Amino acid sequence: MKPEIERALAITPASSARERTIDITTTGARTGLPRRIEVWFYRAGGRVYLSTTPAKRSWYANIVKNPAFTFHLKHGVRADLAAIGTPVHDPAERESVFTSIIADLNQPSNPAGLRQPVEPLNAWLAGSPLVRVDFPEGLE
């Protein structure tokens, strides 16, 4: 893997909103057409995840139906990475990942500039999509 891609994927709690921001291109669940949207990605337990505050999201429905998508890095390095999304349903993994995400977003330095505190853990567990991202070419 190129070192600049490794660096871009290696976000930490100190990473800015800009460094966390990517685009993803999914295949529409109903239309079968490409759909590109801007999202944040997170790291927890050494893995890459996609999630958002509690809400239903079209990108999540698209990944559930068509797990292959493109992960577009766009800050610091531009790269289009083939990715596979796996929805996370295991309660223990969801709790562990969301606990990490919430701690990251609620840190005192608040590098992402979010209104704090973010939604509590039980709200994320009940209503947030969570997708584990794997890169078939071994980019993690």
> Which tens digits make up the pLDDT trace of 62-88?
999 999 999 999 988 999 999 999 999
**12: CB partners within 8 A, 6+ apart:** 43
Nearest-angstrom CA–CA distance, 20 and 13: 10
Q: Which pLDDT value is given to residue 140?
A: 44
Higher pLDDT: 121 or 63? It is 63
With 90 as the cut, is the pLDDT of residue 112 above it?
A: no
133 and 85 in contact (C-beta within 8 Å)? yes
Q: How many CB atoms lie within 10 A of CB 121?
A: 15
82: which strand partners? 70
Q: Which pLDDT value is given to residue 139?
A: 52
Measure Cα distances from 10 to 4, 13, 96, 100 in Å.
Answer: 10, 10, 19, 15
